[in-house]
Structure 1
């Protein structure tokens, strides 16, 4: 394995970690007005992700930084062609972060309701657009001989990409519902389990169609096995929810999201951004990469600091592992 291949794998791992961890964050935000019927219940829901949501976004920052440093051509083509959707995602994430911090700054129901809507917006938009973006990356986009995007924003709204957006939206929503069923008590826990089953059933159907379509785009026997594993894990997660085994449900849901993300990267390799309709203009792990010296320095930095990041984030989850409910919220 060359350093180019190693960093492609590393970036795949970072994006997979981001989707698994930030995915349930997005789900909690999307479900805020659905499961939180009172102000106190909404505060319980926000408190379940309060200690971890910003740490989960570290995976996105690291993935973006690693892409910029390891594959600058890939980064440049993505941000030129996908500029508008990525800008909208960035705005949504900023609004969401501000909403978490500002929601409790004033004792006003109207004030909190406004920031709650901002949380829903900041969660739903990325949950949808990340699927659209990654579906286009796997499918391919128009690139010219200089590897510059030669299409328009409307080219990104093709049926496959829209289906990808619906898959991530429903999958993250169900993932978040399973997290809430695991982390809460009382009525919120009961409602979350019900939503997980209903939304999860829709997500399962959409995901199967999307993975089969992806297989026809360039899948192999290995990707077929991975897609089947993701589907089985998610169905098992729904079964665990039905039996009231929230811990197993969330773990299996995380496996399903992670394996589905890995499947997309396996289908993509050795390209990093396929070109349609001319494959000769595609960006690959070779022609999009940085110099071997740059990749070597990055490898040593990752070896030193990545374990530290994993350790402190694991410690955070361990410290805040207890369930919470309405009774834990002061007046």
Structure 2
């Protein structure tokens, strides 16, 4: 396999890891309004992802950096054409990080409530916009012969892309609800399991519609296998959460995320950004990649650094593996 193909696969793996990990903490952020009934329960939800949310975002930095280095033309066209939605995502992630850090800096209820509002919206907006962005990448956008995006922002808000946004929003929220059931005890755990059943059904309907649309319009045998795995895993996650097996349910909801992202990349290859104006103007793994020497150096660096990152992040999740509940929240404001 040639290096540019290897790096296409590696970038797909990085995005899959990002959506698997950041997906559930986006979902938990949304649950601060959907599930939590009071201040103590909101603190429980925030504490479930408090030790790991920033580590999850490392996958985004890695995916973006790898795209920039391995496929500079893809990176340039993507970030110029999708400038506004990606800027909104970036601002949301900044606000979200600040909200996690500053929420408990002062004891006043209004202060903490405002930061909790920020956590909710800064989780919901990226969860939706990532789906819009990736749906447009797969669908194809107006790219001219100079590899430049010549469309408008409103063209990105087409029905297919909006459906993709709804799928990522509901899937991440379902993933986060299952994670909450896995990480909590008491009444909030019971309600999370009930809510997961409702969200899972909604997610299944939307996901089947979106992935089926994708398969019919540009799928092949490989993407059909990924679609089947995604649907069966989602149904399995619903069965497991109904039986109270949160660990199995979380694993299966994660497989659903991974299979769905895999399907999108399978339908995309060998393109990285198809042109809706002329297929000959599409960006591909060949015409958008860096030089073989650059890709070779990157491969050596990734081979050394990636295992270390995985070991450290796995250790973090192991250290903070215990369940928490409102009884673990101190009465003091801080």
Q: TM-score normalized by structure 1?
A: 0.99
For the 8 Å contact 2:124–2:169, the answer to whether it is kept is yes
Deviation (angstroms), 1:277: 2.8
Q: Residue 241 of structure 1 corresponds to which residue in structure 2?
A: 241
> Could you say which residue in structure 2 is the equivalent of 1:324?
324
Give aligned pairs, total.
331
Q: Using the alignment, how far apart are the partners of 1:89 and 1:36 within structure 2?
A: 25
Deviation at 1:217, TM superposition (A): 2.2
Give the structure 2 partner of residue 32 of structure 1.
Answer: 32
Name the CA distance, whole Å, in 2 between partners of 1:82 and 1:197.
34
SS at structure 2 position matched to 1:104? helix
1:136-169 deviation line (CA, Å, top 9, x unaligned): 0000000010010010001101110000000000
Q: Secondary structure at the match of 2:105?
A: coil
TM-score (norm 2): 0.98
Quote the offset at 1:187 in angstroms: 1.1
Deviations 1:298-329 (A, max 9, x none): 00000000000000000000111110011111
Q: CA deviation at 1:286?
A: 0.3
Identify unmatched segments of 5+ residues in structure 2: none
Residue 87 of structure 2 corresponds to 87
Tell me the distance in 2 between the aligned counterparts of 1:214 and 1:33.
32
CA RMSD of the aligned region, Å?
0.6
Q: Give, in angstroms, the shift of residue 36 of structure 1.
A: 1.4
SS at match of 1:171: helix
Quote the Cα distance in structure 1 between the aligned partners of 2:307 and 2:221.
32
Aligned counterpart, 2:290: 290
Runs of 4+ aligned residues of structure 1 deviating over 3 Å after TM superposition are none
Supply the distance in 1 between the matched residues of 2:26 and 2:229 (Cα, whole angstroms): 24
Q: In 2, distance between residues paired with 1:262 and 1:179?
A: 22
Q: Which runs of 5+ in 1 are unaligned?
A: none
CA distance in 2, matches of 1:28, 1:11: 26
Distance in 2 between residues matched to 1:13 and 1:221, nearest whole Å:
20
For 1:260-275, list aligned pairs within 5 A. Answer: 260-275=260-275
1:119-158 matches, within 5 Å, as 119-158=119-158
Residue 225 of structure 1 deviates from its aligned partner by 1.2
CA distance in 1, matches of 2:82, 2:182: 36
